[in-house]
Structure 1
Amino acid sequence: MALAPNAKGTVPFGEYRTWYRVTGDLRAGVPPLVVAHGGPGSTHDYLRNIAELAGHGRPVVHYDQLGNGGSTRLPGRGADFWTPQLFLDELENLLGALGIAGDYTLLGHSWGGVLAARHAATRPAGLRGLIIANSPASYPLWLGELAVLRRALPPEVAETLTRHEEAGTTDSAEYVRAVKVFNDRHVCRLDPLPRDFIASLMEIHNDPAVYYTMNGPSEFHVNGTLRDYSVVDCCPDIAVPTLLISGRHDEVTPAAVQPFADLIPDVRWQIFEDSSHLPHLEEPERFLRVVREFLENIPDRGATPVRVGDF
């Protein structure tokens, strides 16, 4: 599939369609950066500014995962359909359809980083480098850390959250207001919220089927199908240079990231001191510089691997 620069459209994925956008030229001779968004059930919108890397000669591919955004919507499907394997198959299909499976890099944010880690652990021949941004290695481990963050909230906020979760009234306005207190601390510390982030939030609000099924009613009340999911077991199988990114105030705490740092053989970890869960929006210039430098220092095929800490 020969794509013109700055192409966008959809590719078939079985009987469905996956929406994508390419910024830059896939024929430029530089491994493109494929960006996997979070959720599950969000969209690419909040990660749009990563496309600025194309100004330095590296093409960037965004896509909307099945079920949201410009990809096929399937609101009637249940938990047996929305599985991690579905999204792994979709990513592999996209790489092949765009003709980049033989040479690419991958950035996954939040759930997208979990997805990217599992993909990388299969040792795909064309993967050159991996960036795992603001992602937990284990949902059970992360849930324990979220409980710690919740206990640090004002007592009346914590009580409101617990009361509505136990009553099953997480769609109430009072619960939403209490969730905002947590989100303002640990998801995005910017005021006002960036427009691209709002765009993704609205997509989830308008079509929450995937998010509610796999995650749950909020970032920290994870009672969906991912609640027991982990990629800790496969971290030692990741065989490419890997950059970990997290924010000092992140809902994904250092303890939830630590297994990546301990188990991936060739890894470095960058913590953004003035960020929470969205350092690409909270500290955009530094974020893009760190990512660009990491990608530019990935060794050419056949070269001696760069040691951890050399980036």
Structure 2
Amino acid sequence: MKETLNHIDIALNTYGSRDNPTLILIHGLLGNRTSLAPLAQQLSSRYFTVTYDCRGHGQSSKPQHYTLADHAADLAALIDRFGGQAHVFGYSMGSYIAAQAAINTPQKIRRLILAVTKPKDDGNGSSIARLLQAHGLTPKTATETQIQAVLQAALWSPHTSQARRDALNAEADRRGREARIPILTAAQRHAVNQALVGFDLSGKLPDIQAPTLVIAGKYDGINPPETVRTVADLIPRSRFELFEHSGHLIHREEPEKLLQTVETFLTES
């Protein structure tokens, strides 16, 4: 389904009963609404869960220019569409969006989960752009094959076998195909990265009022644990959790632990 929010179309999926508390899950850069669908489905017995394609991604509108603030405004509008308050789970880029929304519209966020996050841009926009730059590439010039080749070492724990990586990647690709998720063009990849250039939440993270869980993957080469921990250190009502057997892809490498961790956090008094 699609909703028109802030004059653009946002593609989304919902799971569970509207009578339950709302939980919105936000994917990472170059992801889409199917990326966190397995987690959303598992949580849907107790929550009304929503996954959506961020602007510039998937089947949502793809403006030429937008910012992290635009992403956060989309999230705030989506929360309003589903009752005015929600728990929010943000993964990588999605965590920057979630944090920005928690800063801008604190009354809308009940509990906040920031997974494999960072407090600010390092000058390249996305962390993926930083890795590509080290190989002489950019999100605009690199092919999809080149991007995946550069990312593999940074995304996974070294203890995850190639066979398991291939199986998990194939499952993610299958979900994308079934949802008819289009592959982004070079210009569209450039736009999604440019939206993150220059963002800096570090000075405002102490203003976040919501109880917050910050999660890192021990072997994450995209947003390393020490970077993720700085976010937890800056948010007053936060706690830090390290996933010992994951790289950046905590939702694929340790899905059972992620589910348990999220469920426990959301039900704490």
Question: Normalising by structure 1, what TM-score?
Answer: 0.72
Larger Rg belongs to? 1
Q: Which residue of 2 aligns with 1:155?
A: none
Residue 212 (structure 1) shift = 2.0
2:69, 2:144 → 1: CA distance? 33
What is the aligned counterpart of 1:42 among 17, 31, 42? Answer: 31
What does residue range 42-81 of structure 1 map to in structure 2 within 5 Å? Answer: 42-74=31-63, 77=64, 81=65
What is the CA–CA distance in structure 1 between the aligned matches of 2:242 and 2:113, rounded to whole Å?
13
Partner of 2:226: 255
Q: 2:253 aligns with which of 278, 282, 286?
A: 282
* 1:184–1:247 distance in 2 versus 1, CA, 3 Å: closer
Count of matched residue pairs: 259
> Is 1:191 paired with 2:145?
no
**DSSP-derived class of the 2:11 partner:** strand
Number of the residue aligned with 2:150: 179
| Aligned: 1:86 with 2:70 | yes
Amino acid at match of 1:108: G
Q: Secondary structure at the match of 2:114?
A: strand
CA contact (8 A) 1:243 1:269 kept: yes
**Alignment partners' CA distance in 2, 1:177 and 1:66:** 22
Contact 2:10 2:54 in 1 (8 A): yes
Quote the sequence identity (%). 25
2:137 maps to 1:165: yes
Pick the aligned partner of 1:212 from 180, 190, 200: 190
Structure 2 CA distance for partners of 1:121 and 1:14, relative to 1, 3 Å: closer
The answer (yes or no) to whether the contact 1:34–1:61 under 8 Å persists in 2 is: yes
Cα 1:276/1:296, change in 2 over 3 Å: same
Stretches of structure 2 that go unaligned for 5 or more consecutive residues are none
Which residue, out of 2, 5, 11, partners 1:19? 11
2:23 aligned partner: 33
Structure-2 residue corresponding to 1:308: none
Kindly state the Cα deviation for residue 180 of structure 1 after the two structures are TM-superposed. Answer: 4.8
Residues 188 and 276, structure 1, Cα contact 8 Å, conserved in 2: no
Quickly say closer, same or farther: Cα 1:126–1:227, change in 2 above 3 A. closer
3-state SS in 1 of match to 2:106 = coil
2:212 corresponds to 1:245 = no
Gaps of 5+ in 1: 1-8, 151-157, 216-223, 300-311
CA distance in 1 between counterparts of 2:211 and 2:251 reads: 20
Over aligned residue pairs, what C-alpha RMSD do you find?
A: 3.3
With structure 2 as the length reference, what TM-score do the two structures score? 0.82
1:126-145 equivalences under 5 Å are 126-140=108-122
